[in-house]
Structure 1
Amino acid sequence: MATNGRHLLLRSSQLLRNAVIINHAPALQRSYSSDREGWLNKLLHVKKVEPAKAAHSEALTNKDVVYEMQIHNIKPDRMREYIQASEHCLKRIHENPDFPCSLFGSWSTAFGHQDQAIHIWYYNDGYRAVKTMSEKLWVDKEYNDYKKLRGEMLMNRSNSLLLPFSFWGAPQPREPGNLYELRSYHLRPGTLIEWANNWKSGIRFRRDNNEAVAGLFTQVGDLYLVHHLWAYKDLQTRKDIREKAWQNPGWDSCVAYTVPLIRKMESRVMIPLPCSPLQ
């Protein structure tokens, strides 16, 4: 009898303890989830993204201008021929007032993607100018002759339409003799506004040497892709300027909050072509 009584008492105690755990499980789960979320946020330094209140094109830029980035991957043995053929065509379009666009910059890559040329065009009248330009080039005999010749030199090509970040400001004049770095960031979807908010405060740490050329984000093409264009006298100057930025209080926060937003990033060091307005 004593043994049976002890078994009944033990069984009752276990049932009571299980009931207490079940009753408190939701609270324990909430506490665990809250602690886990807080720990992860601290670990990753991620700010919560507020719901978007407007389209990116409205929230991040205040101009009607549109940029077009053209990327040409060239057959290695045709690079010199490509540059010579492109020089005349690019310059002709840039200087012709009948074409509603301007050549912003034109480069060949020195480090990063090899045998590649990048051209950036500027449409002051926005998408209307993009449409007009496409129609004019379609019937322009000289351009179509060049396009046919160019096709024999390329492995593939792509383009995208981009808008400028309003906080970056207009490109400033600079002395010739620079090399350029195009840093491209593939962001996690939904984080573009957070990226812009952090860089809006962080860009001031990168203006001392007039190295900040342009900040652009895609509207047509590979989406959630951001490009930052920088100018340096040489690679050693690039190294010195980038290291000096870490001495500014606040730059570390900009990096800490933006790095977790990136899915992939890449860097190209580029040399201006002779016809490029940016030298």
Structure 2
Amino acid sequence: AACQTWLRARSSSEQSCRTERRSAVNKAVMIQIRHALRRAPLLTQTPLSPAFISTGPQQQDGTFYEFRTYCIHPHLNAAFLKLTSEKISLRTAHSELLGYWSVEYGGLNQVFHIWKYESYAQRAAVRAALARDPNWMEEYISKAMPMLSSQDNEVTYLVPWSTIKKPSKEGGVYELVSFQMKPGGPAVWGPTFQGAVGAHSAPGYAHPVGVFHSEFGLLNRVHVLWWYESADHRASIRHTAHSDPRVVAAVRQSVSYLESQKNKLLFPCAYSPLK
């Protein structure tokens, strides 16, 4: 009996020691954690670099391009183009027109135009000035608006690796190719898309006027504006390019990020800066 009593006492003592040791260890760990938290900088004190959290190359320039598409009542198409030709100077007096085209293929009775702005504030000021311009309102807007069945616009930026490159000569045709990309931005599809554009332009198959990424409108959309000497020249060039292994390989890599695409063949109007 005395032996059993001694064993029970010893077991109880050992258990008590183990409990005390665990308690001491836990206390020491908590003290270390508190010290570490005190030494750690707050997130508000050390904001992450924009480059670290970015989904792609950042738009450093405030310049943007407004794409506008007008659908014209079929029987008034010629009248609208004539009126615009006569009065476009009233509009270009307020801001820069990059190009104005009539859609030949990919959309009937449409015009497409691109306007350049240095900032949203500039665009707002231009729109306000136009609304106060009696000549613009009376000589153009009051006559042109009844000729239209719909209007649409989209705000775009040039992608960081693109600039506006005017064709070396006038008199050609333009193709606007619009790509609906998978969500994720340039960080996801940028390198392969740039490779596909370069595979077409580097060998001289086509002249890229500009590559644009949507900011307002349908998002994750990229537009490439190409120039060709003629519609037949485009057809011949595409046949040659699609037989080039470099183009085929680049396109195959890019299409993995593509959801859909469409295009329009554009004829520049006589008053278009891009001809």
TM exceeds 0.5? Answer: yes
Among 81, 97, 102, which residue is 2:96 paired with? 102
**1:14 paired residue number:** none
Question: Take 1:264 and 1:210, find their aligned partners in 2: how far apart are those partners?
Answer: 21
Output aligned runs, 1:128-139, within 5 Å. 128-139=121-132
Q: What are the residue-to-residue correspondences of 1:15-164 with 2, within 5 Å?
A: 53-54=53-54, 59=57, 61-94=59-92, 96=93, 99=94, 101-123=95-117, 125-145=118-138, 146-164=140-158
Q: CA deviation at 1:162?
A: 0.7
Aligned-residue offset at 1:209? 5.3
Structure 2 partner of 1:206: 200
Shift in Å, 1:248: 4.6
Structure 2 gap segments, 5+ residues each:
1-51
Structure 1 counterpart of 2:248, one-letter code:
D
Q: Deviations over 1:120-160 (max 9, x none)?
A: 1111x222321221221121122222222111101111111
Specify the alignment match of 1:232 in structure 2: 228
Taking the aligned partners of 2:199 and 2:55, their CA distance within structure 1 comes to 28
Greater shift in the superposed pair: 247-256 or 230-239: 247-256
| Residues 187 and 237 of structure 1, relative CA distance in 2, 3 Å threshold | same
Paired residue type of 1:85: L
1:60 Cα offset (Å): 5.1
Structure 2 contact 64–155 (Cα < 8 Å) conserved? yes
Output one character per residue of 1:199-251: Cα deviation in whole Å (capped at 9) or x when no partner.
32333323325611111111111211211111111122112222333455542
Q: After superposing the two structures, state which structure 1 stretch, 232-241 or 72-81, moved more.
A: 232-241
SS of structure 1 residue aligned to 2:225: strand
SS at match of 2:226: strand
In the TM superposition, residue 185 of structure 1 has moved relative to its aligned partner by 1.3
Q: CA deviation at 1:255?
A: 1.0
SS of equivalent residue, structure 1 residue 119? strand
Q: CA-atom RMSD, angstroms?
A: 2.2
Instruction: Give me the whole-angstrom Cα distance separating, in 2, the residues matched to 1:228 and 1:180.
Output: 10
Describe the SS at the equivalent of 1:64.
coil
Q: Is the 2:67–2:115 contact (alpha carbons within 8 Å) kept by the matching residues of 1? A: yes
Residue of structure 2 equivalent to 1:258:
254
Length, aligned pairs only: 222
Which protein has the larger Cα radius of gyration, Structure 1 or Structure 2? 2
TM-score (norm 1): 0.73
Counterparts in 2 of 1:139 and 1:70: CA distance versus 1, 3 Å:
same
Q: Name the structure 2 match of 1:28.
A: none
By how many angstroms is 1:80 displaced? Answer: 0.6
Per-residue deviation at 1:170? 2.7
Query: How far does residue 191 in structure 1 lie from its aligned partner after superposition?
Result: 4.5
Stretches of structure 1 lacking an aligned partner (at least 5 in a row): 1-51
Q: Does the 8 Å contact 1:90/1:103 carry over to 2?
A: no
